[in-house]
Amino acid sequence: MRSAMIVLGLVGVLSLVSLSTPTQAETPAAPLPALGASPSQISVSGLSSGAFMAVQYDVAFSASTVGAGIVAGGPYNCVFVNIGGIGACMAAMPLPPSGMASVAAAEGFADLGEIDPISHLASQKFYLFSGKNDTVVKQSVMNAVDTFYLDAGVPASRIKYVKTFPAGHAFIAPDFGNLCGTNDTPYVDRCESHGTPYDQPGAILSQIYGPLQPKAATLSAQPVAFNQREFASSASGMADTGYVYIPASCDKRSAVKCAVHVVFHGCLQSAAKVGDDVYSKLGYNNWADSNHIIVLYPQVNASTIPFNPQGCWDWFGYTGLDFQTQGGMQMTAIHEMVQRLTSQ
């Protein structure tokens, strides 16, 4: 029944694009390096399916995560605890999702030992964003994310919920992207706050880590490709190649204990679709460079097997019904990538 609900929801709500033929195998990139980053300074953020994934990772590995930035996503395990499934979790149809139901689901998985106890969430910090002109994930769905964290015991003072911008379904970059309010590729908008370009990456990182040093005008390094096949097979839906930004202060020769921030792209937003728009142009790297933060940009591509034609992160079960636990294919892969970056 769950599988049927997933397929019906995909057809009725996601407006799937035509399947493309698989691309030729990529030449494997270099291994992700071990950099001795700080295991106590791990955080995540994401847009759309990447926002759902950021919630999943944050909840499942809450004991080792310090915060999350959620842009146009939904609450934990949303599809399987709400009538309407994907429809409820995107278009709020027939009803918006329930944050309280997601808390109950998380507590159940924690009792089974499949995720960390959700009590760890109370010590984290959160940035939530919903554009008023978002036609893909309704603001009432993001309201349920706010309710989920509050019901899970997170103090309201640790949650910053931004929902007044006339933005579309998009990351908000300070100097790159579509006009504010656009719901189209590459799913990056430019919006202003009091006449100044809104810098969402800076807002996310400062909410999680506290006051930051001014962002770097010139980067000390460039994003590099790494081999994701070491961490996940093609059955996971993940691409052969991911990307990582490593500031010069965080390389192997440095004594600095850098933080790690994972950025999950949205549907139709992997490098195969939008090039370096996410991993180079959003603005995360400039803030990371001057604040000793390694930024990991894992990738999911469109595929026919598994059935994922829009290149979304798995928040509805296309890789298996354990997708929202620590044992899920994609969740395990990302956690192992983070462990690599924090290992000596």
- What is the distance of C-alpha 320 from the center of its chain? 19
Q: What are the catalytic residues?
A: 48, 134, 169
Closest CA relative to residue 46, chosen from 119, 126, 114, 148: 126
Q: Would you say 66 and 41 are in contact if contact means Cβ atoms under 8 Å apart?
A: yes
Residue ranges of E strands in the chain: 42-47, 67-71, 125-129, 159-162, 171-172, 178-179, 188-190, 192-193, 196-197, 224-227, 241-245, 259-264, 293-297
Say which residues have a Cβ less than 8 Å from residue 36's Cβ, sequence separation at least 6.
Answer: 252, 257, 342, 343, 344
Residue ranges of E strands in 52-177: 67-71, 125-129, 159-162, 171-172
* 3-state secondary structure (DSSP) of residue 325: coil
Strands 192-193 and 196-197 turn out to be: antiparallel
The one-character DSSP state at 156 is G
